[in-house]
Chain A
């Protein structure tokens, strides 16, 4: 137990906080709180990346930590917040049924992710290797969140949270992807955010609502 260095413990702590946030997102009904949770996720991600960078002496990770902080901790939440405000859904509450069931499914997913990640993390040489399971779990949980939501904004938050989980997986398994790729991914996410922002307005004009339950025109039965 005691041979995990303090930085490693800090990273594990961040990992479990991320998992906690993933579950909180799963059960959060209010749109605004979701955005706040997402921002928190970004900040924790940036912090843990900094710790990884410090402990592994990988200087390029400082850069990606900065990128994460700016993009996921500040820009994306601010854009989301503005969108939520402009769309006037600041106090929107989504009715979620059967939260305990969703949570139990989430728990099963966590066990699944941990099992799936176990053989891989044994192979990894990084000090963060044990967090790979958490990263995978948060990807799956965001996925679950997207499935259970019927409104556009929460779905998008789920999408972005999934990307966060993937980023965390990259840092924990391999100390981050090559810089070019990381930049490309960041660019993609940013563009996606803008496009989705445009989309929200278009959807609302066309459907008078951001509830995706109205979208059932296209079906093959």
Chain B
């Protein structure tokens, strides 16, 4: 029942916001809907802590150690982002960039996006997972083109076509998966249920499954932003409104990776080889290296952090591909901390860009003087994402590097080099943006940076202390993923 609430609240939110999105208090209403989602997600999480994983509604939905923390995370970031977008969108409206109609669209689509994310996480049905991922593209594509500028339309079009094509490959993978499963589980509706598939994964036809995984990886991998299918990602991040960039990086990429990993579990079971892991490692490594070198050439601050997202998603994919208890644990932790840190950074970046009236880094200067909170948020967030101790990113990256050193020592220098290049690129840019000379003006609405500091606080906490039930989930999920 809790599962249903978690999904129904954002769905209702989408309808409510479509009706009342033009109201003066619409931003507050939006946050309230997200809060309801967060509360129901909290109840769901508490239930899982108490009773362990379970399925619901004819086994169509399920929660286990792997998706429960992602549900909580998604609902949490969904809520904090709605808090952030409250002043942010008001400022955008004040600047005349958005009309009331566009705002209504934004709120409605934002809620529906959260709905698709939670549906994708909670569904037990691989087919519905696909439907939810496709729906996520559809809801965000209108958000990316919200400003209706040529650049944003271009970004949205690219996003739509690339992800549309990519996700079509995933559908083909799903069809192949169903084809393999139907022979074991029969043609009734259960042949796409993940829990059922997981039970018979050892008997699934290996040739079909390996082919299916290639398609699933390419398909969902496009949404993860894996190179060379990442083209849409920087554009969509840079041209959409900042809250959308935050949820794209924080939620969508995570959920897409979640879909890949769910498929990997089945394929590993069927093949008994490291085929899926090798593929993921290859794509992941390529993404890390490619993103690191593109990072250093960016001029747009949101683009730069978008490439940083590609880098980190690549790192996670690599870690999941490597497998083993430690690497998977680290990848799960990295999923959590990257999501929190990156959305925090985008919150700060959003206000910084509003302040300077530009997203070009050369024109963002001296944040620490004009608005210390934004400056501090950005510098702390950047330090966190760059993997400085004691933030959580350090822990997870350290664990990933250690495992790499242990199992694939020859990859370690490549990873270190890429991380180093990324570090140098981001750190030098951040310094000027935060500490440079400035002539900035004040914002018409006070920025809301509480979410940033809450996120960073959580990342800091995860760096030094992982709560026991979370650690237990990570361990269980790592055992499941293998």
Contacts and interface: CB of A to CB of B under 8 A. Distances in A.
A–B: direct contact at CB < 8 Å: yes
Interface of A: 58, 116, 119-120, 123-125, 136, 139, 143, 146, 152, 155, 159, 162-163, 166, 169-170, 173-175, 177-181, 184-185, 187-188, 191-192, 195-196, 198-199, 202-203, 205-207, 212, 214-215, 217-218, 220
Contacts of A163: 168, 171
Given A180-B125, A199-B157, A192 B150 contact: no
A203 B192 contact: no
Contact of A155 (B161, B171, B182, B189): B161
B165 interface: yes
B188 to A, nearest CB: 8
Contacts of A218: 151, 154-155, 158, 234-235, 238-239
A181 B135 CA distance: 13
Interface of B: 60, 125, 127-128, 130-131, 134-135, 138, 141-142, 145, 148-151, 153-158, 160-161, 164-165, 168, 171-172, 174-176, 178-179, 182-183, 187-189, 191-192, 205, 207-208, 211, 234-235, 238-239, 294, 297-298
B175 A206 contact: no
B154 A217 contact: yes
Given A116-B211, A120-B176, A185 B171 contact: yes
Contacts of B148: 202, 205-206
Contact of A207 (B153, B155, B234): B153
Given A119-B207, A191-B135, A206-B150, A199 B145 contact: yes
Contacts of A188: 131, 134-135, 138
Find the residue from A155, A163, A174, A207 having the highest chain B CB count within 10 A: A174
Contact of A178 (B135, B141, B150, B192): B192
Contact of A185 (B131, B179, B205): B131
A155 B187 CA distance: 35
Contacts of B151: 217-218
B175 to A, nearest CB: 5
**CB-CB nearest 4 A-B residue pairs:** A181-B127, A184-B131, A215-B154, A178-B189
A58 B186 CA distance: 13
23 contacts: A116-B211, A119-B207, A159-B161, A163-B168, A174-B187, A177-B174, A178-B191, A179-B189, A181-B128, A185-B134, A187-B131, A188-B134, A192-B164, A202-B145, A206-B148, A206-B149, A214-B150, A215-B153, A215-B157, A217-B154, A218-B151, A218-B154, A220-B298
